[in-house]
Amino acid sequence: MIRLEKRPTPSRLWTAVTPVFAVLATMLVGGALFGFLGADPFEAIRTIFWDPLFHPQFAAYSRPQLLVKAGPLILIAIGLSIGFRAGIWNIGAEGQYIMGAVVGAAAGLALYPSDSVLVFPLMILAGALGGWAWAMIPAVLKTRFGTNEILVSLMLVYVAQTILASVSSGLLRNPEGMGFPGSRNFKQWDAAHNAEIIAGTGMHWGVAAALIAVIAAYVLMARHIQGFNIRLTGEAPRAARFAGVSPTRIVVLCLGISGALAGLAGLFEVTGPAGQITIDFNSNYGFTAIIVAFLGRLHPIGILLAGLLMALTYIGGELAQLMLGVPGASIQLFQGMLLFFLLATDVFTNYRVRIGAKGVA
Amino acid sequence: MNRRTLLASAALAMSLGGAALAQDTTKACFVYVGPIGDGGWTYQHHQGALAVQEAYGDKVEIAWQESVPEGADAERVLTQMALSGCNIIFTTSFGYMDATNAVAAKFPDIKFEHATGYKREHPNVATYDARFYEGRAVLGHIAGKMTKSNKIGYIASFPIPEVIQGINSYYLHAKKVNPDVELVVTWAYTWFDPSKEADAARAMIDQGVDVIAAHTDSTAPLGEAAKENGAVIGFGQASDMAAFKPSPRVASIIDNWAPYYVKRVGAVMDGTWEQGASWAGMPEGEVVIGEITEAVPADVKAEAEAMIAAITAGEYHPFTGPINKADGSAWLAEGEVADDGTLAGMNFYVEGITAEIPN
């Protein structure tokens, strides 16, 4: 008889190896899936995981693109992980990402066509503020009225999308755009352009901000008293209250950080890779970042690696579509599998398998 | 290996690959905004791609990528296509406009064709669009004749000129045969979202609308109309949507990109490709009205077919004066025909439409 037995403390070894198992299982089952779709499974897996890094034709372009794609994912996921550690579930990072972009872009466009060096820093500030303010809505509702932050933050995504649609065909529309929706293109306005810091590397300010966030989150969670309070609130809420940690403060702090970081990600994206506010500017980074946060075990370094891995599956997935003609939905399925297998193998972190009769544990 | 030699070797591999391709096959690539199974817009573009394959057999290779978000991802997808040796790339949605021009600047030897846009910043970028308003005129005629409640509906996607043209043309021709007709416009702010489209259709049906035209790509509005047991009719959009025949789908407006795609890929093959801005319609076979079913009375069907024949022959333009703008000011005098410049930037409703264009 096979039994699962709860471990007294989660296994550190398994915490580290389950993501690797999840990736391997995804490769195996995903390969079979591509096989059924008529593609060579080995070629498909190689195209997704190897070609973006080492293909002679694509790699020089797609390696920097990994950073471009991973940057916002990491930045948002870092913010989310802090809240998740405290048991505060911000599911609405997508909305905060949109509002950061909208508010930041609006602050910049109000100054068009100024070429002051202060334009971009001001936009960064406005972007962070926009995301923060959007996250404060569920925070205040939760602390004042006890509403559920999962529902409120998720619902606010749809409100943000509607605002996005409205401003791209109204308030922020490019006056020279012949009536078509979409703002001015920030790539054509040097003062507001989030250009690559070193050309050809994919390293723009958003990627730099993501790396800084990784380090800051590491210091906060490992070395700072607030980090300890956050973890304590998540692991033992009653103990935290006895220790004098204010739950209200933790909620406001966690949602504030994750909202501000998501807002920053939106701002860096709209002024950089995306270039303009459009009706469907958001591309699900806010939701994908939830997967990245869990894949990275809510640990800053883990999130860094998970973000890069996720970016790899995106770019490799695009190549697989292009080169092998596999359908786009199969790539999404493939990414979904990754989270599924991670959650499934997670069981071994908290439980150990016992084979045989019930013994003394 | 440092970055420079790496880039150089990549460029070398690229040019070798490009040269090899140019000798035997031409590679035509397509970027789609939705899934090829959407049954509407993207499906029709993909049919065009398949027609290219059919026309030239093993002399062309086609490749495509579906559900590519408009925005940051589009530029990367286009660059990867260019690197993979595509000779001509069709970007089939308005939102790819800036990305198309940005990538075209980096790959001057590759031809880019952008659907429904207006920016041609480099000599290797062409744009193409279809005169959907020609088809909308025929649907408007049928709608005006068929409505019993005198309320007809239009599910609009985004307030861009193409959609405004469609709304105006649809309304004008309904009004012409039914002076009492009233138009309800619902903005869905999406090109493809079956649940939103169904909600929009439902909201209009609840207001008493009994003929629904859609400018969004899914079959959901027809699905909603089908629940009304024949009391509500609609039209196939972008693709024929024949599954809803004979009612609620009583006719359809079909985008047929195949002639253009075959022509343009052919031009790349024989080296005659040139930049252009194509705006073809019924005469070229790019806009087609699908079968008008027996749910439509024979005389209405005959009138609709006469209109199709007149537009196809170039004898009738759907925007022929006298037409006033919604604010009452004169637009076209008696017998005057709208010029393409005004149509391409159309941002006003015609007289009689009481709604406002969202701004």
**Which residues of chain A carry a pLDDT beneath 70?**
179, 357-361
Contact status of B230 with chain A (Cβ, < 8 Å)? no
Per CB-CB distance under 8 Å, the chain A contacts of B63 are: 322-323, 325
> Which among A54, A180, A276, A310 is the top mutation candidate for probing chain B, defined by the most B β-carbons within 10 Å of its own β-carbon?
A180
Q: Which of A213, A304, A314, A310 is nearest to A265 (CA)?
A: A213
Q: Report the DSSP beta bridge partners of residue B278.
A: B128
Sorted by sequence, the CB contacts under 8 Å of residue B355 that are 6+ apart come out as B183, B184, B185, B349
How large is the average pLDDT for residues B77-84?
92
Q: What is the mean pLDDT of chain B?
A: 89
Structure confidence at residue B69 as a pLDDT band (50, 70, 90): confident
pLDDT digit string (tens) for B159-172? 888 899 999 999 99
Answer whether A62 sits within 8 Å of B71, measured CB to CB.
no
Residue with tokens 């003062």: A191
Complex confidence, ipTM:
0.81
Residue B9, pLDDT score: 45
Residue A357, pLDDT score: 62
Cα–Cα distance list, A72 to A281, A337, B278, B331 (Å) = 14, 22, 38, 49
Tokens of B41: 């817009």
pLDDT digit string (tens) for A178-205? 767 888 988 888 888 888 888 878 889 9
User: Which chain A residues touch B if contact means CB-CB below 8 Å?
Assistant: 56-62, 65, 68-69, 162, 165-166, 169-170, 178-182, 185, 187, 200, 269, 272-276, 278-281, 283, 315, 318-319, 321-323, 325, 327-329
Contact status of B77 with chain A (Cβ, < 8 Å)? yes
Residue B16, pLDDT score: 43
Is the pLDDT at B12 greater than 70, yes or no?
no
Residue A358, pLDDT score: 59
Give the alpha-carbon dihedral of A48, A54, A60, A62, to 10 degrees.
Answer: 20
* 3-state SS, residue B340: helix
pLDDT digit string (tens) for B223-255? 999 999 889 999 999 999 999 988 899 999 999
The angle, 0 to 180 degrees and rounded to 10, between the axes of the packed helices A300-324 and A285-295 is 120
The full set of domains in chain A, from first to last, is 59-325 (1.10.3470)
Residue A282, pLDDT score: 83
The DSSP annotation for B126-187 comes to EEEEE-HHHHHHHHHHHHHHH-SSSEEEEEE--SSHHHHHHHHHHHHHHHHH-TT-EEEEEE
Cα–Cα distance list, B108 to A23, A185, B98, B138 (Å) = 40, 22, 16, 41
Tokens of A267: 């701002």
Residue B95, pLDDT score: 85
The DSSP annotation for B96-139 comes to GHHHHHHHHHH-TTSEEEEET-----STTEEEEEE-HHHHHHHH
pTM of the predicted model, to two decimals?
0.82
Percent of chain B topping pLDDT 70? 93
Residue A244, pLDDT score: 86
Counting beta carbons within 10 angstroms of the beta carbon of residue B334, is it exposed (0 to 12), middle (13 to 18) or buried (19 or more)? exposed
The full set of domains in chain B, from first to last, is 3-130 (3.40.50.2300), 133-254+288-344 (3.40.50.2300)
The beta strands (E) that lie in B270-314 are given as 277-280, 287-290
